[in-house]
Structure 1
Amino acid sequence: MKFAVAIRNMGPQSNRATIRACARIAEQAGFDALFVSDHLCIPPDQTEGSGGRYLDVLATLAFIAGATEKIRLGVSVLVVPYRPAVLTAKQVATIQELSGERMILGVGVGWMKPEFAALGAEFRKRGAITDETLSVIHHLFSADVPGAFDSPLVKFPSFVFLPRPKRPPIWIGGNGPAAMNRALKFGDGWHPMLPAAELKAKVEELNARARAAGRQPAEIIVRRGFRLDDTAAARAKVAAEKEAGATYFILDLGRYADEKAFGRSVETFMAKVAN
């Protein structure tokens, strides 16, 4: 099992110095990747824990890419319907290029209706928009001059798509049948938010469908937060995730106060839980 850690790009911890320090701590600690989270327009009644302060997730990853050298950089998860498809592909390609191909693209359809309204995005079409955007990403990363694209929601002529680094791994967020279908069609991994007790049967179903389609089993990603003062209990929880089929574990430390608190928790996890 590989381990990653979430870094806060929201709330008072989302300042330049703290983000950079936490990214470097995560890299030095030996995590495979670090992850940030996507919101753009927080409604006033949803600000608990962030105060409504959120940094744009892709711009934040670009900043972190310049502050680190080898740790991978991920989104858990990008709300795909918030952004135009071609622009998203260009931003992803840019981060992938400038980071030295260290990006992981976690994606989801979103859930916060007021945020969709603020962005002028269609909530009822979010699944279809996500599918077409993923089709666009696959299409554009396939050639320097990919052909024209014509689908019900996205149309564009042929153009030069450069730079064209290796497409980053795509991890599909979501729990239900649509997310699992999307993972099989477009993804390299599945990133559900199911408890371990429910995960195992779903992983077995997904892997069986992948084998039937001639595909390798997908990476199974979970993101969890828990107390680190009882390391035995924490180790047992990680073991339960692995037993349920998870292959990748993102540690969510919640609302750590600053980079010092982040560093202490990271050190405890890596020394006493991950090993």
Structure 2
Amino acid sequence: MKFAVAIRNMGPQSNRATIRACARIAEQAGFDALFVSDHLCIPPDQTEGSGGRYLDVLATVAFVAGATEKIRLGVSVLVAPYRPAVLTAKQVATIQELSGERMILGVGVGWMKPEFAALSAEFRRRGAVTDETLSVIHHLFSADVPGAYHGPLVQFPSFVFMPRPRRPPIWIGGNGPAAMNRALKFGDGWHPMLPAAELKAKVEELHARARGSGRAVPEIIVRRGLKLDDTAAARAKVAAEQEAGATYFILDLGRYPDEKSFGKSVETFISTIV
């Protein structure tokens, strides 16, 4: 199992100094990756924990790419229907290029209806738009001059798509059948939010379907908080996730107050839990 850590790109911790310090702490601690989260338009009644302050997730990934050298950089997860498909592909390619191909692209359909409304995005079509965006990303990363694209929601003529680094791994967020189908069709990993007790059967189903279709078995990613002051319980929880089929564990430290607290928690996790 590989381990990553979530860094807050929201709330008072989402300042230049703290984000940079936490990214460097995560890298020095030996985590495989760090992850940030996506919101663009927080409604006033949903600001608890962030105060409504959210940094754009792709801009934040680009910033931490410049502050680090080796650690991978991920989004858990990008809400695809919020953004035009071709623009998203270009932004992802740019970050992948400038980071030295360290990006991991988590993708989800979103859930916050007021945020969709603020962005003039159709909530009811979020699944279809996500599928189209993923199809566009695969298409554009296939060649320096990919052919014209004619999808049900997006169409464009052939154009030069450069720089064209290696496509980053795509991890599909979501729990239900549509997310699993999406992971098998477009993804390199599946990133559900299911408890370990429910995860195992779903992972077995996903593995069977992957093998049946002749494709590689997707990575299984979980993102969890842990009570780090209870070493035995934390170890047991990580072990349960692995037993359920998780191959990748993102540690979510919640609302740590500053980089010192972040660093202390990271050290505890690395030295006593794993």
Specify if TM > 0.5. Answer: yes
Q: Secondary structure at the match of 2:4?
A: strand
Corresponding position: 1:249 with 2:253? no
Provide the residue aligned with 2:92 in structure 1.
Answer: 92
Provide the residue aligned with 2:238 in structure 1.
Answer: 238
Provide the residue aligned with 2:130 in structure 1.
Answer: 130
Provide the residue aligned with 1:218 in structure 2.
Answer: 218
Q: Secondary structure at the match of 2:256?
A: coil
Provide the residue aligned with 1:147 in structure 2.
Answer: 147
CA distance in 2, matches of 1:105, 1:85: 14
Letter in 1 for 2:102: R
Provide the residue aligned with 2:101 in structure 1.
Answer: 101
Q: Deviations over 1:170-192 (max 9, x none)?
A: 00000000000000000000000
Q: Deviations over 1:218-257 (max 9, x none)?
A: 1000000021000110000000000000000000000000
Letter in 2 for 1:272: T
Corresponding position: 1:11 with 2:8? no
Provide the residue aligned with 2:30 in structure 1.
Answer: 30
Letter in 2 for 1:245: G
TM-score, normalised with respect to structure 2: 1.00
Provide the residue aligned with 1:42 in structure 2.
Answer: 42
Provide the residue aligned with 2:56 in structure 1.
Answer: 56
CA distance in 1, matches of 2:211, 2:108: 24
Q: 1:215 deviation in Å? A: 1.1
Provide the residue aligned with 1:262 in structure 2.
Answer: 262
In the alignment, structure 1 segments of 5+ residues that lack a partner are none
CA distance in 2, matches of 1:65, 1:40: 21
CA distance in 2, matches of 1:151, 1:13: 41
CA distance in 1, matches of 2:120, 2:149: 23
CA distance in 1, matches of 2:215, 2:119: 36
Q: 1:207 deviation in Å? A: 0.3
CA distance in 1, matches of 2:182, 2:157: 25
Q: 1:216 deviation in Å? A: 1.5
CA distance in 2, matches of 1:273, 1:87: 40
CA distance in 2, matches of 1:216, 1:145: 27
Q: 1:11 deviation in Å? A: 0.1
Q: Secondary structure at the match of 1:120?
A: coil
TM-score, normalised with respect to structure 1: 0.99
CA distance in 2, matches of 1:152, 1:161: 21
Q: Secondary structure at the match of 1:62?
A: helix
5 Å-filtered alignment, 1:152-163, equals: 152-163=152-163
Provide the residue aligned with 1:80 in structure 2.
Answer: 80
Q: Deviations over 1:245-271 (max 9, x none)?
A: 000000000000000000000000001
What is the RMSD computed on CA atoms of the aligned residues? 0.3
Q: Secondary structure at the match of 1:255?
A: coil
CA distance in 2, matches of 1:216, 1:270: 30
Letter in 2 for 1:260: K
CA distance in 1, matches of 2:172, 2:151: 21
Q: Number of residues paired by the alignment? A: 274
CA distance in 2, matches of 1:35, 1:152: 32
Q: 1:217 deviation in Å? A: 1.0
CA distance in 2, matches of 1:231, 1:98: 39
Q: 1:85 deviation in Å? A: 0.1
Provide the residue aligned with 1:190 in structure 2.
Answer: 190
Letter in 2 for 1:91: Q
Provide the residue aligned with 2:205 in structure 1.
Answer: 205
Q: Deviations over 1:147-197 (max 9, x none)?
A: 010111101110000000000000000000000000000000000000000
Q: Secondary structure at the match of 2:138?
A: helix
